Structure 1
């Protein structure tokens, strides 16, 4: 059952984001089997990240909460907010999956 996790960085935390990025990417690699899609939300010029979107294939909200809480970005207290919602996949890779 897919969940969408949207994160919002605290203001002025770009240096922390860059510092913690390598262990964050290692965490994502270690959990790639759970990721339907994942990536940073960027400023219009693409220079600055301000949070992220994770589409994860997990069985429950509790599993989604545990997943994001184990992310090094979360553990470094980068996020001001985290939103978790169930998601219904309708299209993936430009294909209808319903």
Structure 2
């Protein structure tokens, strides 16, 4: 079953986020086979990120925790909090997926 990982940046960590971003994006590209979706949580004006949301196709909490632990954002101490939760996919790309294999 997939997992949802929600991250919350430390306060005033915008510069750190920008410095770590290239390595973070490289990591995501290397792990794209696990990504159902992911992206930053943005301010209303779309100018500042304050964390992220990842939906990962892994089989266990341990795998989800290992995924986020290896992210350069996590390794660079960007996050104040990280929540890992099992997730049931119901809709994807505007399509009901509940009855799919």
Taking the aligned partners of 2:34 and 2:23, their CA distance within structure 1 comes to 17
TM-score scaled to structure 2, two decimals? 0.96
CA deviation vs aligned residue, 1:4-52 (integer Å, no higher than 9, x gap):
0000000000000000000000000000000000000000000000000
After TM superposition, what 4+ stretches of structure 1 lie above 6 angstroms from structure 2? Answer: none
RMSD: 0.3
Aligned residues between the structures: 98
Q: Which runs of 5+ in 1 are unaligned?
A: none
Residue in 1 aligned with 2:95?
95
Residue in 2 aligned with 1:52?
52
